[in-house]
Amino acid sequence: KAGVTQTPRYLIKTRGQQVTLSCSPISGHRSVSWYQQTPGQGLQFLFEYFSETQRNKGNFPGRFSGRQFSNSRSEMNVSTLELGDSALYLCASSLVPTGLRNTEAFFGQGTRLTVV
């Protein structure tokens, strides 16, 4: 069973540019979440998509956006890049909880974005 796939693995962009990151969840998983990891702030939640709808959003500016397609693949877009956007961006996929039980979340290898 294939895991969560994120592309590209590494990216270098200049300030002011925009970038699109991709995440393909585990087959059958319909929820995709995105996280930003930096040395200073740690791991922070960006947003979550389920059935092509954004269900929850973290405290990030509107330059950060995303979407989910009908096959559950998700993309994250960052416009007008700033130096502070340099980070490891991680995507996680999970089954939708049933009943009261939470379910496991599995991460991809991440995309390391460097803004220069």
Partner 1 sequence: AQKITQTQPGMFVQEKEAVTLDCTYDTSDPSYGLFWYKQPSSGEMIFLIYQGSYDQQNATEGRYSLNFQKARKSANLVISASQLGDSAMYFCAMREGGIQGAQKLVFGQGTRLTINP
**Which residues contact partner 1 by CB under 8 A?**
31, 33, 35, 42-43, 45, 48, 50, 55-56, 58, 88, 90, 92, 94, 96-110, 112
CB of 66 to partner 1, least distance (A): 13
Considering beta carbons, is residue 78 or 90 the nearer one to partner 1?
90
CB-CB neighbours of 7 under 10 Å: 12
Question: CA–CA separation, 44 vs 21, rounded Å?
Answer: 17
The Cα–Cα gap between 84 and 75 comes to 20
Least Å from the CB of residue 79 to partner 1:
23
**Cβ-based nearer residue to partner 1, 13 or 112:** 112
Q: Which two tokens stand for residue 64?
A: 């950060």
Please state, in angstroms and rounded to a whole number, the distance separating the CA atoms of residues 12 and 62. Answer: 21
Nearest distance from C-beta of residue 64 to partner 1, angstroms: 15
**C-beta of 24 vs 33, nearer to partner 1:** 33
Torsion of CA 97, 100, 101, 102, to 10 degrees: 60
